Structure 1
Amino acid sequence: MNRQIFALQRMVRRSISSSSRRQVENNVPKNQKLFQEDNGIPVHLKGGPADALLYRTTMALTVLGTGYVVYELVSAAFPKKKD
Structure 2
Amino acid sequence: MSGLGVRGLRAFQQISQRTFSTAACRRMANKVPEKQKIFQADNGMPVHLKGGVMDALLYRLTMSLTVAGAAYVIYELVTIALPKKK
The alignment's TM-score, normalised by the length of structure 2, stands at: 0.85
Matched, 1:56 2:69: no
Distance 2:80 2:66 in 1: 21
Task: Provide the identity percentage.
Answer: 51
What is the match of residue 40 of structure 2?
36
Distance 1:40 1:60 in 2: 24
Stretches of structure 1 lacking an aligned partner (at least 5 in a row): none
What is the deviation of 1:78?
0.3
Amino acid at match of 2:80: A
Distance 2:9 2:58 in 1: 47
4+ residue segments displaced more than 3 Å: none
Distance 1:9 1:72 in 2: 52
Amino acid at match of 1:46: K
Distance 1:33 1:53 in 2: 22
The alignment's TM-score, normalised by the length of structure 1, stands at: 0.88
Distance 1:3 1:64 in 2: 55
1:18 aligned counterpart, secondary structure: helix
Query: How many residue pairs align between the two structures?
Result: 82
What is the deviation of 1:11?
1.4
The Cα RMSD (Å) is 1.5
Distance 1:6 1:72 in 2: 54
